[in-house]
Structure 1
Amino acid sequence: MIEDFLAGDLTAVDEALRKAAAAEIMPRFRQLAAHEIVEKNGPHDLVTVADRLAEQHLTASLTALLPGSRVVGEEAVHADPSVLEALRGDDPVWIVDPVDGTRQFVHGDPGFATLVCLAHRGELLASWTYAPALERMATAVRGGGARLDGVPMRSGSPEPGRELTVAISHFDFTTDEEKRVLGRLGTHGVAPRPCGSAGLEYLNVARGALDATAFSWENPWDHAAGLLLVAEAGGASGTVAGEPFRIAGGNAMPFASARDAATLRHILALLAS
Structure 2
Amino acid sequence: MIVDTETIDEFLAHHSSDVTEAVRRAAALEIMPRWRKLAEHEVDQKNGPHDLVTDADRKAEQYLTEALGALLPGSVVVGEEAVHADPTTYEAIRGDAPVWIVDPVDGTRQFVAGDTGFCTLVALARGGELLASWTYAPALDLLATAVRGQGAFLDGERLRPGAPEAGRDLRVATSHPDYTTEAQKRALLGLWTEGVAPRACGSAGLEYLAVARGESDGVAFSWEAAWDHAAGLLLVEEAGGAHLTLTGEPFRVTGGNTLPFTAARDEATARRLRALLRAQSA
**Bucket of the pairwise TM-score, normalised by the shorter protein:** over 0.9
Alpha-carbon distance between aligned partners in 2 of 1:237 and 1:56, rounded to the nearest angstrom: 31
Alpha-carbon distance between aligned partners in 1 of 2:219 and 2:76, rounded to the nearest angstrom: 29
Deviation at residue 180 of structure 1 after TM alignment: 2.1
Question: Is residue 195 from structure 1 mapped to residue 190 from structure 2 by the alignment?
Answer: no
Alpha-carbon distance between aligned partners in 2 of 1:162 and 1:40, rounded to the nearest angstrom: 40
Alpha-carbon distance between aligned partners in 2 of 1:173 and 1:221, rounded to the nearest angstrom: 15
Mapping 1:1-273, distance limit 5 Å: 1-273=7-279
Q: SS of the residue aligned with 2:31?
A: helix
Per the normalisation by structure 2, the TM-score is 0.95
Alpha-carbon distance between aligned partners in 1 of 2:262 and 2:103, rounded to the nearest angstrom: 20
Per the normalisation by structure 1, the TM-score is 0.98
Deviation at residue 8 of structure 1 after TM alignment: 1.6
RMSD: 0.8
Moved more, 122-131 or 178-187: 178-187
Moved more, 149-158 or 99-108: 149-158
Structure 2 unaligned runs (5+)?
1-6
Count of aligned residue pairs for this structure pair = 273
Alpha-carbon distance between aligned partners in 2 of 1:186 and 1:47, rounded to the nearest angstrom: 32
Q: C-alpha offsets along residues 94-152 of structure 1, whole Å, 9 cap, x if unaligned?
A: 00000000000000001000000000111000000000000100000000000001111
Alpha-carbon distance between aligned partners in 2 of 1:91 and 1:252, rounded to the nearest angstrom: 26
Does the Cα contact within 8 Å between 1:212 and 1:257 map onto a contact in 2? yes
Q: C-alpha offsets along residues 134-180 of structure 1, whole Å, 9 cap, x if unaligned?
A: 01000000000000011111121101111000000012333333222
Alpha-carbon distance between aligned partners in 1 of 2:209 and 2:201, rounded to the nearest angstrom: 12
Deviation at residue 88 of structure 1 after TM alignment: 1.2
Query: Identity rate of aligned residues, in percent?
Result: 68
Aligned residue type for 2:147: V
Structure 1 unaligned runs (5+)?
none
Does the Cα contact within 8 Å between 2:60 and 2:104 map onto a contact in 1? yes
Q: Which residue of 1 aligns with 2:3?
A: none
Q: C-alpha offsets along residues 157-204 of structure 1, whole Å, 9 cap, x if unaligned?
A: 101111000000012333333222211100000010000000000000
Does the Cα contact within 8 Å between 2:172 and 2:219 map onto a contact in 1? yes
